[in-house]
Amino acid sequence: MNRILVTGGAGFIGSHFINLILSENKDIEVINFDNLTYAANLSNVNTSKKYTFIKGNIVDDDDLNNLFNHYSFDAVINFAAETHVDKSIENPFIFTETNLLGFQKLFYKAMDNEVKRFIQISTDEVYGPNDNSEIFDESSSLKPDNPYSASKAGADMIIKSAMNTFGYKGIIIRSSNNYGINQYPEKLIPLSIKRLISGEKIKLYGDGKQKRDWLSVTDNVNIIKEILFSGNDGGIYNICTGVEKKNIDVAKFIIESVNELMGTNYSEFNDIEFIEDRKGHDYKYTMSNAKVMREIGVSSFNDFDSGINDVVRHYLIKYGVLDENTI
């Protein structure tokens, strides 16, 4: 593999992925194509002589034509998306535009240019919520329940249809909630830390008992890289740890961790506020990770309880309330 295109590489997961490839696979050239929305931060990507950034929009035909006329790619990995469910409730159209139409333009461009490998970064949310007894595997039906997940599920359907209609086999990766450094502070973990240190309460939707399977972004990008090299064309892969946590428990972890690092005395009773539930809030999406463990050889995952302290520490330093040299 000589050159890969990473779209959305200035975002949270995409930047971790690029940094991993540049550090471990020094022969591969990476083109990062991103239109730098509010969620992007180019300084999170390490540069190298094998790395090129191109500002461009996957919805824009001219941007895509210029890109594909100038370069040929051995693989395309699409991280570019609008990703915040709350925003998709306020403004669903941009989600359909980017996550569905933009995706389709990129995907068809890759197909027309006979790019050998196309990886779409999808989400556990495309399955919709499940009850306590149900576990989604890769053949479960898609029942998305909010505008974000509907736009992501649409993209998965387009890949399925292209396989049947044109014989072009994209790979779909459905990851659970990622946590790690350099995430834009609109998502639960960085936002809660930011609120706490600004003297606000952590806000939890409803009763805070919604469950999510928290996957370290480091694990996620390592597995995505393995799938890039050894996944099956046309395959679908769930990536999750198999361990779920309630949002309220994540908030408690954050409070404990901040207290430990800063010597503060925040408490779950004084510093958590329960607010009106998100419209159509999905309770949980329990997936099976058996396939990725069996076929890609994943054997273990980072443990959230021990990893969260490092992540909290990173945000406290980033937000300027903890000295980098504090142990």
Ligand X SMILES: NC(=O)c1ccc[n+]([C@@H]2O[C@H](COP(=O)([O-])OP(=O)(O)OC[C@H]3O[C@@H](n4cnc5c(N)ncnc54)[C@H](O)[C@@H]3O)[C@@H](O)[C@H]2O)c1
Measured from the CB of residue 123, what is the shortest distance to ligand X in angstroms?
4
Is 147 a residue that touches ligand X (CB under 6 A)? no
Burial of 99 (C-beta count, 10 Å sphere; 0-12/13-18/19+)? buried
Place of tokens 């046309």: 234
Q: Does residue number 10 form part of the binding site for ligand X (CB under 6 A)? A: yes
> Is the Cβ of residue 37 or residue 309 nearer to ligand X in the bound state?
37
How does strand 211-213 pair with strand 244-246? antiparallel
- Collapse the DSSP code of 194 into the 3-class scheme (helix H, G, I; strand E, B; otherwise coil) and give the result: helix
181 binds ligand X (CB under 6 A): no
Q: Residue 143 in contact with residue 124, Cβ under 8 Å?
A: no
Binding region for ligand X (CB under 6 A) out of 12-20, 64-72, 244-252, 295-303 = 12-20
Catalytic entry in 29, 34, 124, 145: 124
The CA-CA-CA angle for residues 68, 172, 279, to 5°, reads 110
CB burial of residue 149 (10 Å; 0-12, 13-18, 19+): buried
Contact map string, positions 292 to 311, toward ligand X, x by CB under 6 A: --------------------
Has 148 been annotated as catalytic? yes
> Is residue 119 part of the contact set for ligand X (CB under 6 A)?
no
| Total site size for ligand X, rule CB under 6 A | 30
Write down the catalytic residue from 29, 34, 82, 125: 125
User: Which one of 81-89, 258-266, 272-280, 281-289 is the stretch in contact with ligand X (CB under 6 A)?
Assistant: 81-89
Residue 182 makes CB contacts below 8 A (sequence gap 6+) with 12, 15, 16, 41, 44
Cα 87 from chain centre: 16
The answer to the question of residue 177 lying near ligand X (CB under 6 A) is yes
For ligand X, the binding residues (CB under 6 A) are 7-8, 10-14, 34-37, 39-40, 57-59, 79-83, 98, 102, 121, 123, 152, 175, 177-178, 184
Q: Which residues are catalytic?
A: 124-125, 148
